[in-house]
Amino acid sequence: MSIIDSAKSAAQTLVQGAMSKLVPLAPDSWIPGGVPDPLIARKHGLIGTPVSRLDGPLKVQGRARFSAEVDAADIAYAALVHAAVPRGRIATLDTAAARAAPGVILVMTHENAPRMNAPALFGSSPTAVGPADLPVMQDDRIHWNGQPIAIVLAETQEQADHARSLVVATYSIEPSITSLKAAKDAGPKPGLFMGEPLLTQIGDAEAFLSAAPYKIDHLYRTPRHNHNPIELHGATIWWDGDTLVIHDATQMVTAQGLTIAGVFDLKPEQVHILSPYVGGGFGSKGLWVHQIIGAAAAKLAGRPVRIALSREGVYRIVGGRTLTEQRVAIGAQADGCFTSIIHSGIAAMTPHNNMPEPFILGTKVGYGADSFKLSVETVEMDMVANTFMRAPGEAVGTFALECAIDELAAEIGMDPVDLRILNEPVKDPISGLPFSSRHIVEAWRRGAERFGWSERITTPGTRREGEWLIGMGCATGTYPYYRMPGAAARITLTRNGTATVEIAAHEMGMGTSTTTAIVAAERLGLPMDKIDVRYGDSTIPGAIMAGGSQQTAAIGGAVIAAHNALVAQLLKMAGNDSPLAGLTSAEVGSEDGALVKLDDPTRRESYASILNRAQMDSIVASEEASQPLEMMHWSMHSHSAIFCEIAVNSITAETRVRRILGSFDCGRILNPKTARSQFRGGMIMGLGMALMEETQFDERNGRIMNPSLSEYHIPVHLDVPDIDVIWTDIADPHTPMGAHGIGEIGITGTAAAVANAVYNATGKRVRDLPITLDKLL
């Protein structure tokens, strides 16, 4: 980092520090969301009605072109060679046979790769999304078992795949840390997440714990996980003169373009990333080394390159969720009120990346208590850089916390739902901020009633149906409301009553394109079929990452800003001959293709009329969203109560999920049809996490042992019961459209609900995921 960068960063930290002190104290009306979004009050529009996906007809016919399916003339096919040792140097790399193989165009290694800068590490600037701070194919160093050491380009995929098998590497191996024990022995380091230390202490939690009449204190373990979207990571890449074009599967077109520009010393406008369809992401579809290697090879070969990773290739170079070891200790008074919450432990990382699995985040807002001690420390291992995976932190953190709550309830002899409601905080237990919208108790009560929770038999191991033991469990899920800075929207309104809304956002199955059309139609007062939503293109202004469950809020905020700018332009254009003359944009809204005075709908003029008089075919408004200060002014979260019923076979220990219900409190639901699917999808990933998912890591050599969908098990149709989903649908008055994010809340809490049901069925506590049958026998 240069001196200037350091000074900038120090100044930024000072400003942020001042903001974080002032924003909580500011009057509500100064804060975005201080005045509720007018769309919240509109009850009879498209918002809240089920709408089928607008991209549905394309997708069911296989006509949506994913990134590795884009046509290009004279395309070259890529195959990667991966290192087979965890750390060291390449001693020899023999590519002669590969180069001589039929159809081979190029073999690129560190010896002939163009010089490139290391990608800027994720989080090192607001637009940096590099997976690690390591240079890519620039030297003979090996940093993880699976690191690409060569790329073969050939005329066909078959020729490339064959030639890659002919590359012979030898290594001089250096000492590495590939076992958790060795990593712990080397010493943990304090975890830092988004610049903040992962450490919170209020009062003397250990003292409160030892004085508490009821307490539990246990260690919970979660393994590595891989995202496993069914679409393999892949890209179609070419150079158009000095411009680099990448058709990619990514959740971050803008930031990825900027980071890649830095790698190749290009101007931002010289990198064009397109990603209109993403075949599932869950945190994994971002910048990894394959796009950089592919772009470098395309440059050397002077041809377009298709680099489609094999499934094993994805495991070798796309990191997953890391392992954690978590201590949760809770102390309670005789009446069940918590006096102490301790949640601490370690997460494994690499020396070169920036993602300590922040498993305490959910605990920071879960329950009230007299004292807290929350911390995440990291230990370093030589492995592929770990990364964000659906609900990073919360997914594994709520497993430990919510199992511990269940254990404490059993200790006290209280119903676990009652214990949770008893300890419901009135304000954010750590920051002290007021909640913007928290109706978790309602979610608990409605969920419990619908599920039939009162029929649960408290004594474990006593409900039996034939050879099956039956149990019920529950847990809370939580995930923050985020709206990241930098979002923008561009609205083009035409005289014939159509609008194009452009956002640098992503559709990987969340329903973003459909929901954006719904919201834009309501905001602009146009029918949905008059709205064209364009997204997934780095040339669109602004940056909207599909992460942190923030896309809908970020898009919503950006469309509000662009709409305001559009209204101001239209009013100016309307001039003194309009029924709207003299009104300010704050007094005017959109309705039925017209601008309308909010408190006097008789004063109106249609968009067509305004544009006609001005002799304009269309106007364009492009605007950045307001700063997301609401997140510093209120404590804002999505919530859930998950209930499940499982059956464990008393002979084979096979576990089957019979029923599961998610009761959600996530603000206003914009499109119930796609929202229900997203909730269910998260819960299904939670079922996988509970019962089967584990990336097996060979501690002898740092190699992932099950890099395939045959050996890494995810839930299949027969594992997934008909999932019941309900929601409070209470709008948050302080967010765009009253909505909260819903992409990650489904996975949080689910694994704990299953584990607690397993305990209720069998009397066995499994604190080490996944709950495979060997742990129950």
Partner 1 sequence: MPLIINGSPAPVPHDPRVSLLDLLRESLHLPGTKKGCDQGACGACTVLVDGERILSCLALAVQYEGREITTVEGLAGENGLHPMQEAFIVHDGFQCGYCTPGQICSAIGMAAEVRRGVPSHVSADLTADVALTREELQERMSGNLCRCGAHNGIIDAIRDVLETRETAV
Contact footprint for partner 1 (CB under 8 A):
52-53, 55-66, 68-69, 71, 156-158, 162, 227-232, 277-282, 308, 310-311, 508-511, 673-674, 676-678, 680-685, 708-710, 714-720, 722-723, 746
CA distances from 472 to 424, 459, 661, 740 (A): 22, 11, 11, 29
Phi and psi torsions of 271, nearest 5°:
-120, 125
What is the C-alpha separation between 319 and 381, in angstroms, rounded?
A: 13
* DSSP sequence for 246-286: EEE--S-HHHHHHHHHHHTT--GGGEEEE-S--S--TT--S
Report the chain's C-alpha Rg in angstroms. Answer: 27
* Least Å from the CB of residue 36 to partner 1: 30
The verdict on whether omega for the bond into residue 770 sits within 30 degrees of 0, i.e. cis, is yes
Please give, one letter per residue, the 3-state secondary structure of 6-64: HHHHHHHHHHHHHHHHHHHHCCHHHCCCCCCCHHHHCCCCCCCCCCCCCCHHHHHCCCC
CA distances from 604 to 213, 318, 540, 755, 758 (A): 68, 54, 32, 59, 62
* Coil/strand/helix, residue 90: strand
What is the C-alpha separation between 601 and 567, in angstroms, rounded?
A: 16
* DSSP sequence for 196-247: EESEEEES-HHHHHHH-SEEEEEEEEE--B----SSPPEEEEEEETTEEEEE
Burial 693-703 (b: 16+ CB within 10 A, else e): bbbebeeebbb
Phi and psi torsions of 721, nearest 5°:
-75, 175
* DSSP sequence for 629-675: THHHHSB-EEEEEEEEEEEEETTT--EEEEEEEEEEE-B--S-HHHH
Contact 96, 249 (CB under 8 A): no
* Least Å from the CB of residue 228 to partner 1: 6
Which residues make beta-bridge pairs with 374? 200, 343
257 vs 662, beta carbon nearer partner 1: 662
* Coil/strand/helix, residue 178: coil
* Least Å from the CB of residue 76 to partner 1: 12
Which residues make beta-bridge pairs with 531? 499
42 vs 673, beta carbon nearer partner 1: 673
316 vs 364, beta carbon nearer partner 1: 316
Would you give the distance in Å from CA 311 to the centre of its chain? 21
What is the C-alpha separation between 415 and 400, in angstroms, rounded?
A: 18
584 vs 710, beta carbon nearer partner 1: 710
- H or E segment to which residue 394 belongs: helix 394-412
* Least Å from the CB of residue 506 to partner 1: 11
Look up residue 695 and give its amino acid.
T
Query: What are the structure tokens assigned to 708, written together?
Result: 């395939």
* Least Å from the CB of residue 714 to partner 1: 6
534 vs 775, beta carbon nearer partner 1: 534
437 vs 549, beta carbon nearer partner 1: 549
* Least Å from the CB of residue 717 to partner 1: 4
Contact 134, 118 (CB under 8 A): yes
* Least Å from the CB of residue 151 to partner 1: 18
Would you give the distance in Å from CA 272 to the centre of its chain? 23
33 vs 276, beta carbon nearer partner 1: 276
Pairing of strands 76-82, 305-308: parallel
Q: Known catalytic residue: 744?
A: yes
* Least Å from the CB of residue 321 to partner 1: 14
* Least Å from the CB of residue 388 to partner 1: 16
The catalytically annotated residue of 394, 623, 645, 744 is 744
289 vs 685, beta carbon nearer partner 1: 685
* Least Å from the CB of residue 736 to partner 1: 23
486 vs 686, beta carbon nearer partner 1: 686
301 vs 433, beta carbon nearer partner 1: 301
* Least Å from the CB of residue 275 to partner 1: 12
723 vs 761, beta carbon nearer partner 1: 723
Pairing of strands 305-308, 324-332: unpaired
What are the catalytic residues? 744
